[in-house]
Structure 1
Amino acid sequence: MSRQALVIGASRGLGLVLANELARRHWRVIATARRGGGELQANVDASNGQLRVESLEMTSPEELAALRARLAGCRLDLLFVNAAIDRGDLPIDEVPTDMFTEVMVTNALSPLRALEALRDLVVPGGTVAVMSSEQGSVSMNTEDGYELYKASKAALNQLMRSYATRHIDDGQTKLLIDPGHNQTQLGGPDAPLTPEESVPAVVDVLEAQAGAPGLRFLDRHGEIVPW
């Protein structure tokens, strides 16, 4: 029986390439997007049923609940949450409160809400994973800049630790993935990596870690990223 994955946030960038790479490896993939159309829909149309799209605004608890209801009876081998925004490089004292709230809700709170809403669809021995960043590593924060984004990823990592502690006995593999600095809308055009370069390595890590107990924070080479 073929493996099935749900990729949250697959309309562009890393999530889009991740959904495509899983489908290329013969996973059946459910990919979410806030809006229809675009490259994701074109890939779905060409996938011979390997890919399908579901609508989701991840920051909406109502839409998460509706997605969970639509997927009732679905069994997932992989649940991967890929979603983050960046609102520029302001020193933290210049960040407006509404911007702080928006980034934290999108980058930290909403991924964990998604895991909690959908985790019961993941089979024992399956994997729940979230796209993180070395920018969320407290010990590696030795360069100036992007203070709000770094804080949001550190918060994501901490919330994932809490999640893993709360669900320690569920038999599911738990991963935080640092894909490297990629040329995406978030990473910018001058990043050293492209998603087409980094994502196959990320999927190698996902497949290699399947069934491993506990939570790991790993880069695209499968190496541990320090907290």
Structure 2
Amino acid sequence: MSATTNRRALVIGASRGLGLVLAGELARRDWHVIATTRRNGGELQAEADASNGRLTIESLEMTSPDELAALRERLAGRRLDLLFVNAAIDRGDLPIHEVPTDMFTEVMITNALSPLRALEALRALVAPGGTVAVMSSEQGSIAGNTEPGYELYKASKAALNQLMRSYATRHAGDGQTKLLIDPGHNRTRLGGPDAPLAPEESIPAVVDVLEAQAGAPGLQFLDRDGEIVPW
């Protein structure tokens, strides 16, 4: 990475939850952070206002290829040390044979297709030796799928992991670190109020992993402690 005081990150999906805490944690560590949101205002704006210019906001609907292209144009000439894509929705705990087709499509587009579109659209902004990372989940581990429930969400994260594997294979020679990150089960809108972790606990550990892995070759699927998650 570049000098510590000049590190730059783009966090896609930072309006709330894990993405919001991630953007704020990076800014507190003196990264210069660009954070995207679909809606202006809210907690992200408050973080930006308190950041002494280290956190700025861009508007983005990640599922829109046109908006991704427009963001790339707005950021042309910038060089990033970290591109982090955070996006996931959950539409309940239906067995897969009860999932409506439109629900299946919505979840797969948001959780699997759109993060990879974002990487492809924005990867040229990442400096040689920089990192591209995506928020995944242990729920996407096929080896770890030993308990029932949340079949569509699990499938979407497994698809994300497989697509990231293809991305890493296709771009094996680009010199960029590639990471899938499992942050653990957090108390967010997605994780629910009974989850064992608070984002304020898990995200600093995630940033430790991002910083420690900078410059590492290949693709890794790691948890918040830097341990390998089984595929």
Question: What TM bracket, shorter-length normalisation?
Answer: over 0.9
Alignment of 1:1-227 (within 5 A): 1=3, 2-227=6-231
1:161 offset after TM fit, Å?
A: 0.2
Post-superposition shift, 1:45? 0.9
Residue 124 of structure 1 aligns to which amino acid in structure 2?
Answer: P
Task: Give, in angstroms, the shift of residue 63 of structure 1.
Answer: 0.5
Provide the C-alpha distance between the structure 2 equivalents of 1:205 and 1:154, rounded to a whole number of angstroms.
Answer: 21
Q: In structure 2, what is the Cα distance between the partners aligned to 1:43 and 1:157? A: 30
State the superposition RMSD in angstroms: 0.4
State the Cα distance separating 1:46 from its structure 2 match: 1.2
Q: Deviations over 1:71-126 (max 9, x none)?
A: 00010000000000000000000000000000000000000000000000000000
The CA distance in 1 between the partners of 2:185 and 2:47, in whole Å, is: 25
SS at match of 1:49: coil
Say which SS state the counterpart of residue 135 (structure 1) adopts. helix
Cα distance in 1 for residues equivalent to 2:134 and 2:52:
27
- My pick for the range that moved more, 40-49 or 26-35, is 40-49
The 4+ residue runs of structure 1 with deviation greater than 2 A are none
- Give the AA of the match of 1:194: A
Please report how far the alpha carbon of residue 218 of structure 1 lies from its aligned counterpart in structure 2 after TM superposition. 0.1
CA distance in 1, matches of 2:49, 2:30: 16
Question: Secondary structure at 2:228's aligned position in 1?
Answer: coil
Equivalent AA in structure 2 for residue 65 of structure 1 = A
Instruction: Provide the TM-score with structure 1 as the length reference.
Output: 1.00
TM-score, structure 2 length as denominator?
Answer: 0.98
Give the C-alpha shift of residue 31 in structure 1. Answer: 0.1
1:46 and 1:208 map into 2 onto residues whose CA distance is: 27
Query: Which one-letter code corresponds to 1:140 in the other structure?
Result: G
Unaligned runs of 5+ in 2: none
Amino acid at match of 2:55: L
Shift in Å at residue 69 of structure 1? Answer: 0.5
Amino acid across the alignment from 1:146: Y
SS in 1 for 2:127: strand
Measure the CA separation in 2 of the matches of 1:215 and 1:62.
28
Once the two structures are TM-superposed, the CA of residue 175 in structure 1 deviates from its matched residue by 0.1
Q: Percent identity?
A: 86
Partner Cα distance (1:100, 1:74) in 2: 36
* Partner SS, residue 29 of structure 1: strand
Give the aligned residue type for 2:175.
G
Q: Deviations over 1:154-177 (max 9, x none)?
A: 000000000000000000000000
